Amino acid sequence: MESGLGVPSLGLELPPFLIALHLLVTRTCKMDWRSMGSALLFPVQMLYYLLKAGARLLLPTRLRDLSADVVLITGGGRGIGRHLALEFAKQGAKKVILWGRTEKCLKETCETIRGMGTECHYFLCDVGNREEVYQQAKVLREKVGDVTILVNNAAVVHGRSLMDSDDDALLKSQHINTLGQFWTTKAFLPRMLELQNGHVVCINSVLSLSAIPGAIDYCTSKAASFAFMESLTLGLLSCPGVSTTTVLPFHTNTEMFQGMKVRFPNLFPPLKPETVARRTVEAVRTNTAILYLPWTMHVLIFLKSFLPQQALEEIHKFSGSYTAMNTFKGRT
């Protein structure tokens, strides 16, 4: 006879640890062949994807055709956002939509894109305001159509240490840089999933993975933004036709980080916004999940994985990132 747990009963009461050991051995022996096959196949799959990634570096990749895409860019009036709008139009997007808070910049960028022969519209929208995002998303769908490429680019930086930071400014950074992505993605992702056609892009920063002093609001919000995109990407694995791209650029030469300086500008020159825009559109068209700019940022992330904290601190001091924000002025 056996007990209800499948343990042989000989009229004796077995100690709990023997019962637990018996159950463990029994369940291990009953492991089905499918599970064993998956375990054996796993390293083969890893090797395949490594080889596939290497082949993509050497062989031409099939590009996404943008001629049917409606692209929405938040913070699209200036800086990287403006160059993204121009680049998407240049590479054949059907329609380009701009969201932002400054009408003058939005209007100028919109007129430039229309001059290139691409349909363009702009809407005033603060992505940090949830109700405003949902309302403008509804208006956009009614006037323009379904968004198939969402570029979360809008961001602000306060540029102060924690104790020197204004509380409202800290909240503003989190609302725009992080929560804004929740609201825009929730507004447009459901329709992408229905159409089985969509791409969500996040213009992040390498500071999300390697923070610096003097920009605690920006670094924190971008780290949260990176986690948001990582979770979203994994959550979409079983959703055909919908992908993501996270862009992690080094210091970019825009008004937002005006005054920021590194110790060796010739060795680590700031990126041009048009370069970030071009590489971002290329990443979307090749369905690249994560893009580091420049490629040397891979080295920084690798070093952070094993170097002791003291060594990392010396790297910050040597490179000048420790004091980079001391001359920060920001957008005027």
Q: How far apart are CA 81 and CA 12, in angstroms?
A: 75
Helix or strand run (H / E) with residue 299: helix 297-304
Spatial CA neighbour of 246 closest among 310, 293, 295: 293
Strands 149-152 and 119-124: unpaired
- Of 201, 159, 172, give the one whose Cα is nearest residue 74: 201
Integer Cα distance of 297 and 88 in angstroms: 25
Residue type, 52: K
Catalytic residue among 49, 218, 292, 322: 218
- Indicate the DSSP class of residue 205: -
Tokens of residue 7, six digits: 């343990």
Decide: residue 39, CB within 10 A, 0-12 exposed, 13-18 middle, 19+ buried. Answer: exposed
Residues 6+ apart with CB under 8 A from 67: 92, 93, 94
Which helix (H) or strand (E) covers residue 124, if one does?
strand 119-124
Mutual angle of helices 79-90 and 273-285, in 10-degree steps? 50
Q: Is the dihedral of CA 41, 46, 52, 58 positive or negative?
A: negative
Angle at 323 between CA 318 and CA 329, to 5 degrees: 145
What 3-state DSSP class applies to 235?
A: helix
Q: Is position 122 annotated as part of the catalytic site?
A: no
Which sequence positions are flagged as catalytic?
218
